[in-house]
Amino acid sequence: EVQLQASGGGLVPPGGSLRLSCTAPGFVFDNYSIGWFRQVPGKEREGVSYIDKTDDVEYYADSVKGRFTITGDWPKNTVYLQMNNLAPEDTAVYYCAADPVTRPGSWKDTKRYDYWGQGTQVTVSS
């Protein structure tokens, strides 16, 4: 079974930065675009950012535009999420997921994705 691995989370003060990484040992992102989501207890999983494998077009939730940057290092089979100027409301478990781009709907729709990672905790607190 394919399992993506999200890493790079941690505890940072407000205004701090983190870079998350998404990899998939034994699996190649050839025909998959990658999305980042986050979730806090009691709330639905929220789409944060997305990168289209075919043309590297990036998408962001309004709440993170201008602060987060998604990049794909496709030869390394890795997708990064650079998060700057973090705020307490960014605290969540962050997940990456692989989208085969075969289903309709928004990139924010979790039903589009075939494979998910286990999540990495990001805590923004002083």
Q: Over range 34-40, report the average pLDDT.
A: 98
- Asked if 19 contacts 82 with a C-beta cutoff of 8 angstroms, the reply is yes
Which two three-digit tokens encode residue 29? 């992102």
Query: In whole numbers, what is the pLDDT of the chain averaged over residues?
Result: 95
Quick one: pLDDT at residue 28?
86
- Asked if 125 contacts 63 with a C-beta cutoff of 8 angstroms, the reply is no
Half-sphere exposure of 101 (CA within 13 A, CB side): 13
| Residues 88-125 pLDDT 10s | 999 999 999 999 998 889 999 999 999 998 999 999 99
Q: How confident is the model at residue 1 (pLDDT cuts 50, 70, 90)?
A: confident
In 3-state terms, what secondary structure has residue 15?
coil
- Asked if 92 contacts 38 with a C-beta cutoff of 8 angstroms, the reply is yes
Q: Over range 5-30, report the average pLDDT.
A: 95
Q: Over range 26-40, report the average pLDDT.
A: 93
**pLDDT above 90: percentage of residues in the chain:** 88
Which two three-digit tokens encode residue 89? 């409301």
Q: How confident is the model at residue 41 (pLDDT cuts 50, 70, 90)?
A: very high
- pLDDT reading at 67 higher than 90: yes
Site of tokens 């890493």: 7
Quick one: pLDDT at residue 30?
84
